[in-house]
Structure 1
Amino acid sequence: MKEAALSTLDHIISLLNTSETYYLVFVDDNGNYAYLNDYFIEKYAIYYKDNGVQSAIAALHPDDHSICFKTNMLCRQNPHQCFQLTLRKLNGKGGYTITQWDFKANITSEGRVNGIIGIGYDITDFESRQDHIRFLTSTLQDVAYKQSHLIRRPLANIMGLVEILDQGELDNSSKDIVAMLKQSIKELNHEFDSFLVKDENPLG
């Protein structure tokens, strides 16, 4: 690694060099990594296991190259600002991890930008949970719709028919049957209310 370019990063490196939660990287003016903390190297060892030229896009999903380049330019044009970015990193197994980053230009004591500092962390599990929640929400809404149309509507039709019967001329036996039907429908409707999924979005 290029130790000379890291003098102004010593305070950050001392904090995050051995972190097992956060990635810390430093990208030089040529778009190569001048520094990687141990956690990043461990996670992406298949791409960064030697001390040769370490291209910053080696483990980057091809579809994210463009936004990464744009963010690099923004950091250099606005050296006192921090820019957030979500990037997909190839895992070497045909898939990728999802990572969240904060990028900021590194300014030398002479006031020159000599690279970009990046601090990131893995959000793959979080995104997977969010996808799962969205799937469950969609499923519950579909179940609520089907229950409303496939169960409640026929029940409402039966209730309407019983009301029509009740308004007609009935003997005592038929009136008793209608009364029992009304009571059964009332109980069934109460049971539906107690367990049917409501057509609401649990995420608000």
Structure 2
Amino acid sequence: MKHLEETKKLLHKSSYFYIITAGMDGNYSYVNQHYADQFAYVHKKLEGQPYHITMHPDDCETCREVSEKCFANPGILFPATIRKHDGKGGYLYTQWEYRAMFDEDGTPAGIFCLGYNITEFVADRLLLNGARNEIREKAGLLNKVAFQQSHLIRAPLTNILSLAAILEKRTDDKQLLSLCHMILDNALRLDREIKGMVGDISSAQ
């Protein structure tokens, strides 16, 4: 318990970390100044209040499960992500490490928790995941377009080129030859454009 008391003193006025302890009755037995200030709107004096009054109801079970692990494994820290009321109808995301506390006789005395606010990190991660999903969707669309241009369009275009070349070799009619040349010239230009677009799509991925 001595090292836990030293940690509490060291970080009592931390502007970054939360430190709380809860007794075996499930009530706060200590909160540092940062935690007290952050959740003062819930209760002016949190000590003695139930630990769950600051959190999302669905996360109470997480606290219970992590606490059980702590008592089953003395001296080991266990992580937990807990949502806390933000006082505006929403929630803050907080990351914690729990450790069981025992008195001098080895009797369970409560839970020590060290935590910090990760709301911005969670928001950034959600935005990143959204961007990744959008990129995957666009990549799928680009692949579809590339396939259509490469196979569905170029296949009949190749046939047109072949037929125009055969026709060109089998006629002496100058007017028909002129038409064949025009067909071949435009088909080749179209083929180059399609190749260029497929290349651009491939390099963009």
TM-score bucket (shorter structure): 0.7 to 0.9
Identity over aligned pairs, percent: 24
Cα separation, 1, equivalents of 2:126 and 2:67: 29
Larger Rg: 2
Cα pair distance change 1:153/1:195, threshold 3 Å? closer
SS in 1 for 2:53: coil
Partner of 1:45: 40
How far residue 104 of structure 1 moved from its aligned partner, in angstroms, is 0.2
Cα separation, 2, equivalents of 1:17 and 1:190: 64
Among 189, 194, 202, the residue aligned to 2:195? 189
Partner of 1:119: 114
Partner of 2:60: 65
Cα separation, 2, equivalents of 1:20 and 1:192: 54
How far residue 19 of structure 1 moved from its aligned partner, in angstroms, is 1.4
- Greater helix fraction, Structure 1 or Structure 2: 2
The unaligned stretches of length 5 or more in structure 2 are 169-176
The unaligned stretches of length 5 or more in structure 1 are 1-5, 199-204
CA contact (8 A) 2:18 2:34 kept: yes
Partner of 1:101: 96
How far residue 52 of structure 1 moved from its aligned partner, in angstroms, is 6.0
Among 11, 17, 20, the residue aligned to 2:12? 17
| C-alpha distance after superposition, 1:130-187 (max 9, x if no partner) | 1111111111111122223246404533322221112111335423442443234324
SS in 1 for 2:51: coil
RMSD between superposed Cα atoms in Å: 2.3
SS in 1 for 2:71: helix
SS in 1 for 2:52: coil
Q: How many residues align?
A: 193
Alignment of 1:92 with 2:98, yes or no, is no
CA contact (8 A) 2:99 2:112 kept: yes
| C-alpha distance after superposition, 1:35-79 (max 9, x if no partner) | 111111122111132266321100111111112112222222322
Cα separation, 2, equivalents of 1:175 and 1:145: 38
